[in-house]
């Protein structure tokens, strides 16, 4: 393989991997803390992109949309959690999957009804519309921006989870939910904030990804599949494992597409199957935990 092409694909994999991480970390947070399987997570990714599309269509800049769209989606997710999903917490995962799939389909149909079924893209801000030389590769400034911003958000999220009271509550809740109740923590409020945070991160990832890959109402299904792969490969509830898995999955996709463009996703799902086989006892024990 040409070294220039290899470097270009590696950079693409880095950016895509960080976007996968921002998406998947919310999925694993919700599952790890709440023992809740949210198959509507990909819909929040798409909803963030369409919120940004609506904002930019009304004359707002993408910079503003990057800030506002995640909060809009987080608010919608918080309402959905409070009104629809909270009663599902004590039910089996099968019911959770059915309920959240129904929510995802509803969101997809609403998006299609309001904005149409065709795909769209967002224009990168004019200040990020050029290119920069990265060694022998001429690379878009916008993709460099995505890498830098997503990396910074990853560090901030790690600080939030590992160095704050909120993070301590999350970790305690995932390990000993009975203990945080005894300490007077409002568990339902903690769940709501976590669910909204996860949705907001997915929405932000959706906004960041759209200028690079475009967006359509059905994109959420693909995104959900990739999030599940990342979480399974990285380990359910593991921040570091999710980050490493997201980067690995994206790099595998980026390199594989050079040799066989149609095989990138196939290889990723084969990787997940191998991990499931290797960790079958651990994964099934975690999934069967109530």
- Token pair of 158 as six digits: 């790690």
For residue 57, is pLDDT > 90?
Answer: yes
Q: Give residue 202's Cα distance to chain centre.
A: 4
Q: What is the pLDDT of residue 145?
A: 97
- Longest Cα separation, the chain: 60
pTM, full prediction:
0.92
Are 38 and 198 in contact by the 8 Å Cβ rule? The answer is yes
What is the rounded average pLDDT of the residues 79-92?
91
Buried b (16+ CB within 10 A) or exposed e, 18-37: bbbbbbbbbbbbbbbbbbbb
Q: What is the pLDDT of residue 281?
A: 61
Are 140 and 127 in contact by the 8 Å Cβ rule? The answer is no
Q: What is the pLDDT of residue 273?
A: 79
Local confidence band at 286 (pLDDT 50, 70, 90 cut-offs) = low
Local confidence band at 181 (pLDDT 50, 70, 90 cut-offs) = confident
Q: What is the pLDDT of residue 272?
A: 77
Local confidence band at 48 (pLDDT 50, 70, 90 cut-offs) = very high
Local confidence band at 274 (pLDDT 50, 70, 90 cut-offs) = confident
pLDDT higher for 272 or 99? 99
Q: What is the pLDDT of residue 110?
A: 96
pLDDT in tens, 183-194: 778 888 899 999
pLDDT in tens, 131-169: 998 888 889 999 999 999 999 999 999 999 999 988 888
pLDDT higher for 268 or 107? 107
Tell me the C-alpha to C-alpha distance, in Å, between residue 61 and each of 52, 149, 191.
9, 17, 32
pLDDT higher for 173 or 87? 87
């Amino acid at each position: 393989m040409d070294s220039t092409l290899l470097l270009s694909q590696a950079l693409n994999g880095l950016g895509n991997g960080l976007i996968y991480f921002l998406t998947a970390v919310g999925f694993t947070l919700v599952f790890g803390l709440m023992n809740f399987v949210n198959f509507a997570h990909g819909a929040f990714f798409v909803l963030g992109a369409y919120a940004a599309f609506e904002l930019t269509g009304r004359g707002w800049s993408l910079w503003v949309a990057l800030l506002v769209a995640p909060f809009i989606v987080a608010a919608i997710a918080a309402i959905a959690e409070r009104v629809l999903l909270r009663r599902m917490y004590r039910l089996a995962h099968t019911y959770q999957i059915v309920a959240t799939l129904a929510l995802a389909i509803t969101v997809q149909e609403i998006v299609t009804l309001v904005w149409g079924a065709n795909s769209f893209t967002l224009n990168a801000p004019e200040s990020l519309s050029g290119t920069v030389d990265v060694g022998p590769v001429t690379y878009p400034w916008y993709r460099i921006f995505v890498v830098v911003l997503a990396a910074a958000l990853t560090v901030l999220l790690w600080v939030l989870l590992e160095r704050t009271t909120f993070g301590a509550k999350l970790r305690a809740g995932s390990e000993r939910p009975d203990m945080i109740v005894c300490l007077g923590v409002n568990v339902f409020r903690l769940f709501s904030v976590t669910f909204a945070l996860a949705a907001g991160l997915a929405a932000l990832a959706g906004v960041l990804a759209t200028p690079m890959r475009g967006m359509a109402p059905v994109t959420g299904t693909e995104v959900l599949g990739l999030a599940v792969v990342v979480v399974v490969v990285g380990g359910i509830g593991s921040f570091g494992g999710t980050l490493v898995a997201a980067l690995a999955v994206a790099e595998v996709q980026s390199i594989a597409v050079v040799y066989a463009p149609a095989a990138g996703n196939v290889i990723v799902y084969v990787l997940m199957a191998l991990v499931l086989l290797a960790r079958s006892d651990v994964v099934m024990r975690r999934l069967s935990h109530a």
